[in-house]
Amino acid sequence: MLILTPTSFSVASATASGATLDWARSGNGQQLAEHGTCAASLLPADDEVVLVLPPHAVSWHRATLPRVANAKLRAVLDGVLEEHLLSDSAELHFALEPGGRSGQTVWVAACHKAWLKTWLQILEDAGRPVSRIVPSIWPHLASSRSVTPPTVHWAHHQGGRPWLASASALGVVCTPLQPGSTGVAALVTPTPGDAETPDGAIQWLAEPAAAAEAEQLLGQRFELVALPAWLLRCAQSEWNLAQFDLSLSSTARRGQRLRQTLRQWRSAPAWRPARWGLAALLVVQLIGLNAAAWQERRVLAAKQQALGQTLQRSFPQVKLVLDAPLQMQRELTRLQQASGTLSHRDLEAMLGVLGQATDDPAAALSSIDFSSEEGRFTVTPDSEDALATLQQTLQRSGWQAQLKDTELTLRPATP
């Protein structure tokens, strides 16, 4: 994942030659791998590019949307937000909060469309097409959980000046960090509810370059968060401002959601118990399969040993057991030959079964070749169907019968 943001904010059209971006890269979406600042053409390559919009680039509006079709929702936003906007709505790009849809009260993000499209085109021309657009700070969303998310204050540098971006359930406010600023005065002046604010309900975060000025003006200690770490935090959010006319295709969105889900499953701390559970399940299954295979091998070895013992009890002269069924068949054949009893391996038995298998009086054996328990007979019936019927009859009787032209090869079935 490649996460990037414009180095400085200006609604003036950026040029490809002077466009510089701060970027961070992560292999799993959870830890930083590398970061830097460079022109768009020098950015490292990556399959997923996330563009983070600076706080000044996005304004936030709370709106109740009527129930309309999704295709008409963008036009409806023009009328709903008309009184809240300082610019012509046709010049702005709108995006709804994650999961927001018609018939709900939602947060709507607005930004300068031409400025955003310029940056998207610059990255497209550089071979780094953007797959997702996220804000650098956003208002807290309504949640069914009883725990209220903390208010976040983020001190950062933008355009060579220190700013404080504050996000809460009431929205997002950007305040210049300079003495006498109205916003700073409101932050440092205690309010009646401050004493009742629980610990951890406010987070004071700052880039290292802006931390000293923010602490001096506000008298508040800030936790240092480098810009690359902040960009990674933004990319981990559920926001995606690539909506309406800037929306990706449905196939691209599905692929994006799949990659994000796989990345969270692979690396997110919240999924660690599930990963350990899956690993434990696989280990248990592997142990179970090996145990079952070991048990099957034991049963098979016991059966083979019993066959070997039966062979040696029946034929004590057999000292080495290699293939008990085959050796037993051979010993039986020797006994039959010694006693003059016909076996399936004798020519007489084959001729007998041939006589029983055919009822065609016109069939005749024009040649016989017998050797090594195998007989080859040249049969001359009156039709090919009679040969096929003969072969099937022999096979049903337990013989191995192969037919090639008019030559029939016959041998006893393998035990």
Q: Tell me what pLDDT residue 181 has.
A: 64
- What is the structure's pLDDT at 340? 62
Express each pLDDT in 207-235 by its tens digit.
999 999 999 988 889 999 999 999 999 99
Indicate the DSSP class of residue 9.
Answer: -
pLDDT at 208: 93
Q: How far apart are CA 371 and CA 119, in angstroms?
A: 88
CB proximity list for 200: less than 8 A, separation 6 or greater: 150
CA-to-CA distance for 225 and 79, rounded, in angstroms? Answer: 39
Q: Are 151 and 99 in contact (CB under 8 A)?
A: no
Q: What's the pLDDT at 191?
A: 43
For the stretch 311-368, pLDDT in tens is: 888 888 888 888 888 888 778 777 766 766 666 667 777 777 777 777 655 456 777 8
Give me 36's structure tokens.
Answer: 């830097």
CA 219 to chain centre: 47
pLDDT at position 54 is 93
Q: Where are the domains of the chain?
A: 2-137+227-268, 347-412
pLDDT the model gives residue 197:
45
Q: What is the pLDDT of residue 194?
A: 43
Task: Quote the pLDDT of residue 413.
Answer: 72
Neighbours of 171 (CB within 10 A): 15
Give the sheet arrangement for strand 59-64, strand by strand: 59-64, 105-112, 92-96
Full DSSP string of 295-354: HHHHHHHHHHHHHHHHHHHH-TT----S-HHHHHHHHHHHHHHHHT---TTSHHHHHHHH
Q: What is the pLDDT along the chain (415 residues), one digit of tens a residue?
A: 899 999 887 766 556 556 789 999 998 878 898 999 999 889 998 888 999 999 999 999 999 999 988 888 888 898 888 888 877 888 899 999 998 888 889 999 999 999 999 899 888 888 888 989 999 999 988 654 556 678 899 999 887 889 999 999 889 999 888 876 666 656 655 444 444 445 558 899 999 999 999 999 888 899 999 999 999 999 988 899 999 888 764 455 555 566 666 666 776 677 778 888 888 889 999 999 999 999 999 998 888 888 888 888 888 888 888 888 888 877 877 776 676 666 666 777 777 777 777 765 545 677 787 776 777 887 776 566 777 777 788 878 778 778 787 788 877 776 5
Question: How many separate helices (H) and strands (E) can be counted in the chain?
Answer: 10, 17
User: CA–CA separation, 345 vs 323, rounded Å?
Assistant: 19
What would the CATH number be for the domain defined by 2-137+227-268?
Answer: 3.30.420.380
Task: For 347-412, give the CATH class.
Answer: alpha beta
CB of 82 within 8 A of CB of 36? no
Q: 10 Å Cβ neighbour count for 24?
A: 25
pLDDT score of 369: 79
Amino acid at 278: L
How confident is the model at residue 225, as a pLDDT?
A: 94
- What are the residues whose beta carbons fall under 8 Å from the beta carbon of 54, sequence distance 6 or more? 5, 6, 9, 136, 158
